[in-house]
């Protein structure tokens, strides 16, 4: 069922490379598992100019505030290591700091969708709507009666200001603040229906799962149009915690165990021998069993995988309620943790969907020897979809 396939960037790459006289901006991603910085060079096919990755220390994985401060302090040094040649930069609001919700809104001629959505989300979060920066995408064609189905992305204004301050303190010029969902889709927008013409909404419904360290982002697209988005608060870190608890080991040791697993669930127990033969005669005595060699406990990821599959199935059911005649046909995997093939195969079987994996760097050219630190750009890097998408996104500041 699982069919790896290189990710294709859309046909507009050539246009993007030619209409940006200032070149692509620098993409800075403050991720849970790592801090990434990427620069693309324009051309008929954009190429990787420089890339740097700085992994998060294990003791900061569960502390978002300290982790971000640590990454902000490390950014200037990282920029020097990467030998980047532009000061124009964009970054994303991390998924953990963004509220992604579907809301149904009665449209008004006097009040914008963003203000109406901010009012709803502010009341749910018990905060002042003015303290939120809200962006909305209307779901066209959804079955929602007289109301309008809207995907809302909300973040605290203070946090967005801190991200801009972080770029400025690293002597960068902020030219865009994006969200990870739309950046991911921009990086793989030809994956949904490659090679087919028609409008952006004509393509078959496709589930996109970004498997990250701290969470999983679930998106459903019709062609290239986003119709569903949700953050699932379960990622590879939670799987490592499960293994650490089972094996009584450290998180780094649990990560190594997880990456080396040949199966995600223990082998089934052997079936007990029959008490008699099929003809009713006594069973033939089994040969004497050899003494079993002692083995350690086998890690079991049944629970987190079941939770992840159930949460994803809820996303599919929500989409089915909005579009009862347009079932999702396949799932596309990206994100750094999608490199663990077993996880992708398990989810694809649980969801009963055909699957493929995506390498967002595969379609980018290489201009000779690429300056890189902490990342091998010659190997598949599904975790760089957000960074690639940021580079290709329009600057909005």
Residue 241 CB-half CA count within 13 A: 13
Confidence of residue 6 (pLDDT cuts 50, 70, 90): very low
* Out of 185-189, 330-334, 385-389, least confident range: 185-189
* Out of 75-84, 182-191, 206-215, least confident range: 182-191
**278: Cβ contacts below 8 Å, ≥ 6 apart:** none
Structural domains counted in the chain: 1
Mean predicted lDDT score pLDDT of the chain: 86
Residue 25 has pLDDT above 60, yes or no: yes
Say what the pLDDT of residue 9 is: 44
Bridging pattern class, strands 365-366 and 47-55: parallel
The CATH number of the domain holding residue 357 is 3.30.420.40
Share of the chain above pLDDT 90, in %: 66
Say what the pLDDT of residue 14 is: 43
* 82 in any annotated domain: yes
* 262 in any annotated domain: no
* 264 in any annotated domain: no
Phi, psi for residue 227 in degrees, rounded to 5: -120, -10
* 43 in any annotated domain: yes
pLDDT digits (tens, 9 = 90+) for 194-214: 444 334 556 889 999 999 999
Residue 388 has pLDDT above 50, yes or no: yes
Euclidean distance between CA atoms 383 and 397, whole angstroms? 26
Do 209 and 229 meet the contact criterion of CB atoms below 8 Å apart? no
Euclidean distance between CA atoms 100 and 114, whole angstroms? 13
pLDDT digits (tens, 9 = 90+) for 308-357: 999 999 999 999 999 999 999 999 999 999 999 999 999 999 999 999 99
Cα separations in angstroms, 165 against 79, 92, 320, 389, 391: 16, 13, 42, 22, 20
Do 143 and 323 meet the contact criterion of CB atoms below 8 Å apart? yes
Share of the chain above pLDDT 70, in %: 83
pLDDT digits (tens, 9 = 90+) for 248-286: 999 999 999 999 999 998 877 665 555 566 666 666 665
* 219 in any annotated domain: yes
Kindly tell me the sign of the dihedral angle through the C-alpha atoms of 173, 177, 181, 183: negative
pTM (2 d.p.): 0.85
* 294 in any annotated domain: no
Domain that holds residue 31: 13-241+301-392
Residue 227 has pLDDT above 90, yes or no: yes
Say what the pLDDT of residue 198 is: 39
Residue 57 has pLDDT above 50, yes or no: yes
* 62 in any annotated domain: yes
* Out of 22-36, 78-92, 100-114, 362-376, least confident range: 362-376
* 312 in any annotated domain: yes
């Amino acid at each position: 069922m699982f069919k790896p396939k290189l990710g294709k960037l859309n046909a507009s790459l050539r246009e993007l490379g030619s209409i940006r006289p200032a070149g692509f901006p620098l993409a800075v991603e403050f991720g849970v598992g790592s801090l990434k910085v990427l620069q693309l060079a324009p051309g008929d096919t954009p190429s990787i100019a420089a890339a740097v990755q700085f992994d998060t220390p294990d003791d900061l994985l569960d502390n978002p505030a300290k982790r971000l401060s640590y990454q902000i302090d490390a950014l200037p040094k990282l920029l020097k290591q990467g030998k980047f040649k532009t000061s124009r930069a964009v970054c994303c609001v991390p998924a953990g700091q963004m509220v992604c919700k579907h809301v149904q809104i009665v449209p008004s001629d006097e009040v914008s969708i963003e203000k109406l959505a901010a009012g709803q989300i502010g009341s749910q979060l018990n905060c002042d709507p003015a303290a939120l920066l809200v962006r909305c995408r209307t779901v066209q064609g959804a079955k929602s009666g007289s109301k309008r189905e809207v995907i809302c992305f909300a973040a605290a204004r203070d946090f967005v200001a801190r991200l801009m301050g972080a770029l400025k303190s690293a002597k960068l010029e902020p030219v865009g603040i994006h969200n990870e969902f739309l950046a991911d889709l921009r990086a793989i927008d030809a994956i949904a229906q490659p090679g087919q013409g028609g409008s952006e909404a004509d393509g078959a419904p496709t589930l996109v799962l970004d498997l990250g360290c701290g969470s999983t982002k679930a998106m459903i697209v019709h062609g290239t149009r986003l119709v569903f988005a949700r953050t699932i608060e379960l990622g590879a870190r939670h799987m490592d915690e499960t293994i650490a608890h089972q094996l009584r080991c450290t998180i780094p040791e649990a990560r190594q165990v997880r990456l080396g697993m040949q199966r995600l669930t223990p082998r089934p127990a052997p079936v007990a021998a029959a008490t008699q033969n099929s003809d009713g005669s006594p069973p033939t005595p089994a040969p004497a069993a050899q003494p079993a060699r002692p083995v350690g406990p086998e890690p079991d990821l049944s629970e987190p995988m079941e939770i992840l599959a159930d949460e994803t199935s809820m996303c599919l059911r929500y989409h089915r309620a909005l579009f009862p005649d347009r079932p999702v046909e396949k799932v596309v995997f990206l994100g750094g943790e999608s490199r663990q093939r077993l996880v992708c195969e398990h989810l694809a079987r649980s969801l009963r969907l055909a699957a493929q994996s995506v390498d967002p760097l595969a379609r980018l050219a290489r201009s000779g020897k690429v300056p890189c630190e902490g990342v091998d750009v010659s190997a598949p890097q599904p975790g760089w979809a957000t960074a690639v998408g940021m580079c290709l996104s329009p600057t909005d500041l």
